[in-house]
């Protein structure tokens, strides 16, 4: 009986092997199912570099079969993968690090806790989400213990009094890292940086019209929130666009450098010069021949006969 079971198992494994060998690449939807992740969890895993993808033939992303097997063979799978992409809001995050929601929000506004993504609630208010793993690491760092209990240091309170809120900026920095990881070439990398600047600031950094036109093909839109032109989409675009002067200047410097590298390696296409055909001079006008007096006399003579 056990022998029959062994034979059946081996035959099945042998039959499955050619199909697995042919299945070198899989789509992102199938990869998420095989890794036991929800679509949103899979997207976050890709953004964080937990799951490596590449561009497929049709322009979409795909995952190598070897990458799926690598993750499945990792220690603690699937729980470890789930923990690495678990995102929590302010209430759960505050409970996780043992502080009030007010203190948690202050730490996030100061840039000490960095959001990984956001969503808009029914009131179109931004709800920031944080990696649970990072929050746990924050509490284990001894230097952060004074920030979790007692009075907030004066230097930090003065910043809060000015209305500082680094959550959008820190999220943009994280988003830029994701876009750069997905960039497959020099123009794609330049386009990733340009995605965080408004058109005017892009024009200031890339003054050549042909370079700028080519660069715009690689700018990435903000994460989808609502129909194009809706208030939710406008808010998403605002969050995606750099606001602070020093942030804008830093991105413009990076954009100039990346555009120069892209231009050197793969110049932007330029319109073919149009040379109009040379104008041929019109043939000189031919004046009708004038009849000489002799000709007039001969015609008169023939008519009088």
Q: How confident is the model at residue 124 (pLDDT cuts 50, 70, 90)?
A: confident
Same domain, 182 and 157: no
Mean pLDDT across 2-30 = 54
Same domain, 246 and 191: yes
Mean pLDDT across 26-41 = 95
What is the model's pLDDT at position 204? 97
Same domain, 156 and 176: no
Q: Residue 11 falls within a domain, yes or no? A: no
Same domain, 175 and 258: yes
Single residue among 133, 164, 195 that ends a domain in this structure? 164
Same domain, 51 and 80: yes
CA angle, 278 then 283 then 284, to 5°: 135
Query: CA 147, CA 196: separation in Å to the nearest integer?
Result: 31
The answer to whether residue 273 scores a pLDDT higher than 70 is yes
Q: Which domain holds residue 27?
A: 21-84
Beta 117-120 vs 126-131: how paired, if at all?
Answer: antiparallel
Quick: pLDDT tens for 76-117: 999 999 999 999 999 999 999 999 999 999 999 999 999 999
Quick: pLDDT tens for 212-264: 999 999 999 998 777 888 888 999 999 999 999 999 999 999 999 999 999 99
Same domain, 93 and 128: yes
Mean pLDDT across 175-179 = 95
Average pLDDT over all residues of the chain:
86
Q: How confident is the model at residue 287 (pLDDT cuts 50, 70, 90)?
A: low
Mean pLDDT across 11-23 = 45
Quick: pLDDT tens for 130-156: 999 999 999 999 999 999 998 889 999
Please check whether residue 74 is in contact with residue 80, taking contact to mean a CB–CB distance below 8 angstroms. Answer: yes
Residue 273's φ and ψ, nearest 5 degrees, are -60, 135
Stretch among 126-130, 194-198, 289-293 having the lowest mean pLDDT: 289-293
Q: Which two tokens stand for residue 147?
A: 């920030």
- Length of the chain in residues, anyone? 305
Question: Coil, strand, or helix at residue 163?
Answer: coil
Highest mean pLDDT among 23-27, 32-36, 229-233: 32-36
Query: CA 202, CA 264: separation in Å to the nearest integer?
Result: 19
DSSP for 257-280?
Answer: HHHHHHHHHSPPP-PPP--PPPPP
Q: Higher model confidence: residue 176 or residue 277?
A: 176
Single residue among 147, 164, 181 that ends a domain in this structure? 164
* Residues 6+ away with beta carbon under 8 Å from 197: 205, 241, 242, 248, 251, 252, 255
Same domain, 113 and 92: yes
The answer to whether residue 63 scores a pLDDT higher than 80 is yes
Closest C-alpha to 67, from 50, 83, 84: 50
Q: How confident is the model at residue 21 (pLDDT cuts 50, 70, 90)?
A: very low
Domain tally, the chain:
3
Environment class of residue 294 by beta-carbon count within 10 Å: exposed (0-12), middle (13-18) or buried (19+)? Answer: exposed
Query: CA 165, CA 110: separation in Å to the nearest integer?
Result: 6
Query: CA 13, CA 22: separation in Å to the nearest integer?
Result: 15
What is the model's pLDDT at position 224? 77
Please check whether residue 201 is in contact with residue 185, taking contact to mean a CB–CB distance below 8 angstroms. Answer: no
What is the model's pLDDT at position 288? 56
The answer to whether residue 298 scores a pLDDT higher than 60 is no
pTM of the model: 0.79
Same domain, 77 and 104: no
Single residue among 64, 84, 104 that ends a domain in this structure? 84
The torsion defined by the Cα of 106, 112, 118 and 123, in degrees rounded to 10, comes to: 10
Q: Residue 57 falls within a domain, yes or no? A: yes
Same domain, 261 and 174: yes
Same domain, 177 and 219: yes
Question: Coil, strand, or helix at residue 291?
Answer: coil
Which value, in Å, is the radius of gyration of the alpha carbons in the chain?
A: 34
* Residues 6+ away with beta carbon under 8 Å from 109: 160, 164, 165, 166, 167
Same domain, 159 and 179: no
Tally of CA atoms within 13 A in the half-sphere of 98 that contains its CB: 12
């Amino acid at each position: 009986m056990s022998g029959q079971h062994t034979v059946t198992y081996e035959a099945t494994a042998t039959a499955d092997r050619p199909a697995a060998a042919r299945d070198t690449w899989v789509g992102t939807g199938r990869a998420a199912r095989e890794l036991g992740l929800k679509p949103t969890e899979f997207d976050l895993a890709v953004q964080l570099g937990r799951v490596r993808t590449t561009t497929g033939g049709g322009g979409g992303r795909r995952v190598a079969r070897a990458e799926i097997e690598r993750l499945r063979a990792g220690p603690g799978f699937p729980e470890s993968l789930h923990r690495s992409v678990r995102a929590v809001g302010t209430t759960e995050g505050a409970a996780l690090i043992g502080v009030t929601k007010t203190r948690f929000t202050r730490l996030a506004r100061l840039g000490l806790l960095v959001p990984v993504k956001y969503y808009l609630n029914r009131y179109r208010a931004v709800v920031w989400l944080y990696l649970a793993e990072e929050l746990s690491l924050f509490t284990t760092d001894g230097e952060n213990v004074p920030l979790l209990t007692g009075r907030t240091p004066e230097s930090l309170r003065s910043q809060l009094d000015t209305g500082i809120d680094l959550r959008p900026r820190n999220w943009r920095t994280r988003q830029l890292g994701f876009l750069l990881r997905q960039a497959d070439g020099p123009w794609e990398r330049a386009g990733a940086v340009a995605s965080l600047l408004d058109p005017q600031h892009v024009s200031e950094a890339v003054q050549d019209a042909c370079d700028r036109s080519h660069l715009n093909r690689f700018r990435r839109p903000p994460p989808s929130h609502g129909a194009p032109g809706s208030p939710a989409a406008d808010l998403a675009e605002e969050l995606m666009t750099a606001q602070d002067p020093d942030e804008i200047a830093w991105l413009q410097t990076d954009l100039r450098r990346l555009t120069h590298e892209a231009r050197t390696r793969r110049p932007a296409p330029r319109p073919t010069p149009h040379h109009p055909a040379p104008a041929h001079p019109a043939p000189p006008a031919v004046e009708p021949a004038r009849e000489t007096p002799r000709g007039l006399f001969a015609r008169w003579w023939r008519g009088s006969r």
